[in-house]
């Protein structure tokens, strides 16, 4: 059961996720969280670097869908200028939004990776929906109120995984 909280991979930033590495795994699509994965949770617009990352993925034929538990206005404002599909009020970790994104991408599960900064929403949701998952270090160390609660639980899980030798990366 606890293995559902364990990501397949861990990176410091989304910029470590390259088209070449994804293609080696047969990945053709990314479902990515927004807040604290791509930009700070309180930053409305994509940075120049994130815009370039999205362009790089598109140039290599990799589809990207932004999926967030945040509201429509927040997710739409970020995603529309990037010309990428999005899912708002996703209710992660529930699987319905993941299945919706997969259907819209028209890809098999093994062709999609889920990227996010939270174990209790992104990793659990991605793993429960049978996708490859990549945990990203949060862009900033501040969070909204509910996420602060999640982070405390995540620290307990990460410490347990570390003691069991299931993870080796540094926090």
pLDDT in tens, 35-59: 999 999 889 999 999 999 999 999 9
Task: Specify whether the backbone of 116 is left (phi greater than 0), alpha (psi in -120 to 50) or beta.
Answer: beta
- Architecture in CATH for domain 2-163: 3-Layer(aba) Sandwich (3.40)
Q: Is 133 helix (H, G, I), strand (E, B) or coil?
A: strand
User: Quick one: three-class SS letters along 121-166?
Assistant: HHHHHHHHCCCEEEEECCCCCCCCHHHHHHHHHHHHHHHHHHHCCC
pLDDT in tens, 60-101: 999 999 999 999 999 999 999 999 999 999 999 999 999 999
Pairing of strands 112-116, 132-136: parallel
pTM to 2 decimal places: 0.90
Nearest to 51 by CA among 84, 10, 27: 84
Using omega within 30 degrees of 0 as the cis cutoff, is the peptide bond preceding 41 cis?
Answer: no
């Amino acid at each position: 059961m606890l293995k559902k909280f364990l990501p397949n991979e861990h990176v410091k930033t989304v910029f470590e996720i390259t088209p070449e590495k994804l293609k080696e795994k047969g990945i053709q699509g990314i479902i990515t969280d927004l807040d604290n994965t791509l930009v700070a949770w309180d930053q409305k617009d994509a940075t120049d670097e994130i815009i370039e990352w999205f362009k790089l993925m598109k140039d290599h034929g990799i589809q990207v869908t932004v999926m967030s538990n945040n509201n429509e206005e927040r997710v739409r404002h970020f995603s529309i200028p990037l010309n990428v599909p999005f899912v708002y009020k996703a209710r992660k970790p529930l699987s319905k939004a993941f299945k919706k994104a997969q259907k819209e991408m028209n890809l098999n599960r093994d062709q999609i990776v889920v990227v996010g900064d939270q174990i209790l929403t992104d990793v659990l949701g991605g793993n429960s929906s049978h996708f490859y998952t990549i945990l990203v270090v949060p862009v900033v160390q501040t969070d909204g109120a509910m996420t602060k609660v999640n982070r405390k639980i995540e620290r307990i899980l990460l410490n347990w995984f570390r003691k069991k030798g299931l993870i080796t990366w540094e926090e």
